[in-house]
Amino acid sequence: MTWESCYRGDGVPRGVKLPEPPPWRTFPRRPLGTAFQPPEGLTDAVNAALCLRRPLLVTGAPGAGKSTLIESVAAELQLGRVLRWHVTSRSTLAEALYRYDVLGRIHAQQLARGSGRSHGSLPRRFYRASNSAIDIAPFLQLGPLGTALLPTSRPRALLIDEIDKSDLDLPSDLLDVLERGAFEIPELARYDRDAVNVREWGGDTRHAIVRGQVACTEFPFIVMTSNGERDFPAPFLRRCVRFAMPEPTVDMTGRIVAAHLGAAAGSQAVADLVSEFVTRVRTGENLAVDQLLSVVFLLAGDGAAKGEQRDRIRRLVMRELSRV
Ligand SMILES: Nc1ncnc2c1ncn2[C@@H]1O[C@H](COP(=O)(O)OP(=O)(O)OP(=O)(O)O)[C@@H](O)[C@H]1O
Ligand SMILES: [Mg+2]
């Protein structure tokens, strides 16, 4: 790949057409599951979690493939669209189950009253079919975990990403819901209508929830990821199947590069980059496999940079992650 037509720093305006992006950086994003190469032992861990109906807790270094694994399982076992819950220190169990916009509903009620018309000034979908009261359904949405626990004929796939970044209590809070595979939406349990259609996470599909009770019929396939930044309580760990992503080998890393870049990955130059990557990781450097994929993408092929520029690009992209 050459950059002659891109930024030169000469101040001359040019309507540039950028080179094609790497296959893993096309937008809208495509699932990467088909390119995933499971390291040794991971398929056993996945199958154990599937058979035991337990979550799989995957730990490993940044870029080890923890978040991508679930796409591979969901695609291969036809589990449908992956539900994603990206955990931060502010995440709560409640928001993963469902969200209720109580202020939005109060506001809608005020608008409806103010208009004084039988069907007020809001679109019809906000009103109850039987009268002009504001319906609760438009203001409720299931979260990723809540959606995963809906009754289905096939298990849903749920990624609980970076659970080690959560508030200390979250793993314990999760235990009860995962143990029972069920939860209640109190606002619907005391609502004056039995069945309410609630929107699922990340989609427009609605599901009838009866008297506020949600209970799965197939336990979801859940992958929880962690960079190992903290320990989890034993009661939480005992309910998971655990897998630590192993250190990369030359063979494994070569397969990952080939899976993403195909024929472009077949040269001696790429083999050298792979073996440099593996040696550096094994001697304790913090490098991610997607840095290797990026450098191979930039430096493979006939038109790629040569000589000093090549070295500069390699150093630029393959910088240790523990330093800025
Ligand atoms: N075993 C693998 N097979 C194929 N691709 C892989 C593999 N491991 C990592 N990758 C690729 O490396 C990139 C990073 O993977 P991913 O985001 O899953 O890592 P991660 O472990 O979740 O990292 P982080 O801890 O930073 O979130 C992705 O583009 C992914 O496709
Ligand atoms: Mg990740």
The predicted-structure confidence for 47-74, as pLDDT tens digits, reads as follows 999 999 999 999 999 999 999 999 999 9
Nearest CA among 291, 288, 297 for reference residue 20: 297
> What strands, in cross-sheet order, belong to the sheet with 182-184?
98-100, 140-142, 195-199, 206-210, 213-215, 182-184
What does the pLDDT read at residue 216? 98
What does the pLDDT read at residue 302? 72
Q: Is 54 in the pocket of ligand 1 (CB under 6 A)?
A: no
DSSP 287: -
What is the Å distance from ligand 2's center to 138 Cα? 32
Output the CA torsion sign for 233, 238, 240, 245: positive
What does the pLDDT read at residue 311? 93
Give the containing element (helix H, strand E) for 292.
helix 289-299
What does the pLDDT read at residue 113? 74
What does the pLDDT read at residue 129? 62
What does the pLDDT read at residue 87? 97
Per-residue confidence band for 266, with pLDDT thresholds at 50, 70 and 90 = confident
What does the pLDDT read at residue 235? 93
Question: If you search the block for the tokens 């980059």, which residue do you land on?
Answer: 273
Cα(257)–Cα(287) distance, integer angstroms: 15
Three-class DSSP category at 299: helix
> Is the Cβ–Cβ distance between 138 and 112 less than 8 Å?
no
Q: Which CATH class is domain 33-98+141-183+215-244?
A: alpha beta
Residue located nearest, by CA, to atom 16 of ligand 1: 65
The predicted-structure confidence for 79-120, as pLDDT tens digits, reads as follows 999 999 999 999 999 999 999 998 998 888 888 777 655 555
φ/ψ of 2, rounded to 5, equals -110, 155
Q: How many other C-beta atoms lie within 10 A of the C-beta of residue 34?
A: 11
DSSP 17: P
What is the Å distance from ligand 1's center to 193 Cα? 46
Mean pLDDT of the chain: 91
The predicted-structure confidence for 193-239, as pLDDT tens digits, reads as follows 899 999 999 999 999 999 999 999 999 999 999 998 789 999 999 99
What is the Å distance from ligand 2's center to 156 Cα? 19
DSSP 134: B
Task: Calculate mean pLDDT across residues 229-251.
Answer: 94
Q: Is 24 in the pocket of ligand 1 (CB under 6 A)?
A: yes
Task: Calculate mean pLDDT across residues 11-37.
Answer: 88
Q: Is 261 in the pocket of ligand 1 (CB under 6 A)?
A: no
Domains in the chain: boundaries: 33-98+141-183+215-244, 249-317
What is the Å distance from ligand 2's center to 65 Cα? 7
Give the containing element (helix H, strand E) for 242.
strand 241-244
What does the pLDDT read at residue 84? 97
